[in-house]
Amino acid sequence: MLFPHKYQESSCSCREGYPEQLREPVVNTNAWSRRRHVPAHIFVTIWPIPGPVRRCATGHNGRDHHNMLLLAATIVANTSFALILRAAQRRHANDMAVGTINYVFASLFFGILGAVSRPDGATTAATYALAGGSFNVIIYLLLLPAMRLRGVAISIAMVRLAVVIPLAAAILVWNEAPSSVQTYGILLALVAVPMLTLDKGISDQPLTVRRIAVLLGLLLSNGMTLLILKAFQMTGFTGARPIYLGAVFAVGAVVCAIAWLRGRKAPLGALEIKWGILLGTSNALTNILMFATLDVLLASVMFPILAAAGLSLSTIFAAIAWREIPGKLGWAGIAVAVFAVVLTNL
């Protein structure tokens, strides 16, 4: 679920006497010459804002308190999706009905934004979204059994580790050279995956080929989602992001609706509507808040914090609220995963 953020560097005089190496770059999301790519692992920018926005490498722009509150809100919103889904699951809401409402709500939200802005590249965005939406809904479908089997913490750790797939593709396909820090992150990710897979999780059920396939499929599906998003970003049609997101969520709505109608013929009740709208709101808010945060903090600062804090908060909340406590191997795997995700995003 992510968009890389690109910006144009320039000199800055945000503070007199501020060291040159710490001065903020000028961000102008309408100017796409001299672009520099930074890593992403979660839904990010939605639409470009006209005019330059100034920010410092340290995140300082004279409003530190506001920036930290914005970052905290982004962390909470980003963490909320899996927790809301798990809460609905534990209350025995129909998973497919909740997913359908979630995707319909989010698709309408971004579809309206796209219709209002009428950006260039809408057809290209919709084409990429067909592939991206297919993998995105697979993540949802695999996340449901994964959370029943291993709980929130291990499931989300597998999702977070998927960042190594687009990074590996960048190395193999686009001949991008990773830094030494990112190389260590990739190696740690390779260590974390078997640790998370082999842990018995909350169900204490024996490991089977099917259950291993669910966890690995979760990682690979999210990795493909990120890869397609990167490919779309490289088309240059950044203004068509609302169209892309609206189409991605529309694909999810169709798939979940078909699964719901072909599965248990459970009626659409108030429980499903409530949790579905909450889930869709989480999708929309996460995008909006990430975009706002990237206006005041560098992506190289935000993404590692977001990854580490999100995974840690999910683990702690699930352990306290629902007593979903991983085994020793799982705890170790989560710790390794936190370091792996942070390093690959530096």
- Read off the pTM: 0.75
Higher pLDDT, 26 or 265: 265
pLDDT of residue 267: 72
HEC assignment per residue over the chain: CCCCCEEECCCCCCCCCCCHHHCCCEECCCCCCCEEECCCCCCCCCCCCCCCEECCCCCCCCCHHHHHHHHHHHHHHHHHHHHHHHHHHHCCCCHHHHHHHHHHHHHHHHHHHHHHHCCCCHHHHHHHHHHHHHHHHHHHHHHHHHHHHHHHHHHHHHHHHCCHHHHHHHHHCCCCCCCHHHHHHHHHHHHHHHHHHHCCCCCCCCCCHHHHHHHHHHHHHHHHHHHHHHHHHCCCCHHHHHHHHHHHHHHHHHHHHHHHHHCCCCCCCHHHHHHHHHHHHHHHHHHHHHHHHHCCCCHHHHHHHHHHHHHHHHHHHHHHHCCCCCCHHHHHHHHHHHHHHHHHCC
Average pLDDT, the chain: 78
**Is there a domain that residue 32 lies in?**
yes
186 pLDDT above the threshold of 80: yes
pLDDT of residue 295: 73
Question: Average pLDDT in the 12-35 region?
Answer: 35
The number of domains in the chain is: 1
**Is there a domain that residue 44 lies in?**
yes
pLDDT tens digit sequence for 279-329 = 999 988 887 787 678 777 776 677 778 878 888 888 889 989 898 888 888
**Is there a domain that residue 1 lies in?**
no
Domain that holds residue 73: 6-344
**Is there a domain that residue 175 lies in?**
yes
Q: Which of 3-12, 156-165, 232-241 has the lowest mean pLDDT?
A: 3-12
The percent of residues above 70 in pLDDT, for the chain, comes to: 80
